[in-house]
């Protein structure tokens, strides 16, 4: 039997790729607060990279919808307003409702452990993980269901939205005090997919997004009303 080499090849990534990942993670996790102003010089100092590297990363994040560049005002982290939350919740309900139905219809038996593992990861994160780990596991479960749908164009649209969806999930999960509720929100969806009940899987996936998204929308609308925005 061939011995397994304990050393893996060293990952070679450019400074831009590392800066992009660091900034994206900081935004999605809330390390860089929504709406906060950010400057190229401050970020370049904190990341120990050139301003050109930071600028390139910021333009990529702008294309992903995570940062906004305003003429004469500079860069700011996206702040999810009521319109943003409403658009994301309705779009997710549509895309993930379709994904749930197709995943139930089309997933191969060999793919079932992948979905079960994603659900196990979410349970573990909800029981013992940090808020960011919970949101990451939540997102990975939804991403897995989309992948099991076997629909290339659906997967591509979801991929383009992945960072905004991750931000949306992070904000929504933060409103749930008892993380076991998040487990209860997702287990019926997974069971329906594994049972190949397409109608139920699609309905549950859609309703999950509409219900939880509305709670987030209500909170954001209340915050905006209080701030006078």
Domains for the chain: give ranges and CATH numbers.
Answer: 15-77 (1.10.10.10), 82-227 (1.20.120.530)
What averages of pLDDT result for each successive group of 10 residues across the chain (229 residues)?
50 79 89 89 92 93 90 86 94 97 97 97 96 94 97 94 90 92 97 98 97 94 81
Among candidates 51, 35, 138, 143, which has minimal Cα distance to 96?
A: 143
Residue-level pLDDT at 197: 98
Structure pTM?
Answer: 0.83
Calculate the CA 227 to chain-centre distance. Answer: 26
At 148 the pLDDT is 97
Q: What per-residue confidence (pLDDT) applies to 225?
A: 86
For residue 61, count CB atoms less than 10 angstroms from its CB and return exposed for 0-12, middle for 13-18, buried for 19 or more. Answer: buried
């Amino acid at each position: 039997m061939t011995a397994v080499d304990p050393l893996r090849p060293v990952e070679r990534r450019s400074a831009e790729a590392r800066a992009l990942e660091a900034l994206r993670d900081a935004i999605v996790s809330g390390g860089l607060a929504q709406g906060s102003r950010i400057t190229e010089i401050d970020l370049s100092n904190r990341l120990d990279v050139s301003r050109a590297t930071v600028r390139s990363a910021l333009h990529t994040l702008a294309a992903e919808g995570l940062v906004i560049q305003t003429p004469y005002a500079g860069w700011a982290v996206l702040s999810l307003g009521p319109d943003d939350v409403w658009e994301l919740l309705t779009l997710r309900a549509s895309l993930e409702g379709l994904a749930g139905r197709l995943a139930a219809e089309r997933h191969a038996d060999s793919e079932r452990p992948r979905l079960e593992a994603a659900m196990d990861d979410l349970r573990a994160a909800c029981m013992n993980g940090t808020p960011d780990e919970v949101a990451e596991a939540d997102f990975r479960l939804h991403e897995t269901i989309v992948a099991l749908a076997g629909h290339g164009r659906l997967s591509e649209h979801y991929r383009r939205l992945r960072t905004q969806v991750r931000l949306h999930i992070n904000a929504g999960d933060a409103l749930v005090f008892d993380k076991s509720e998040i487990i209860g929100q997702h287990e019926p969806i997974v069971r329906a997919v594994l049972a190949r009940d397409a109608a139920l899987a699609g309905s549950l996936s859609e309703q999950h997004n509409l219900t939880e998204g509305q709670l987030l929308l209500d909170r954001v609308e209340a915050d905006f009303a209080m701030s006078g925005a």
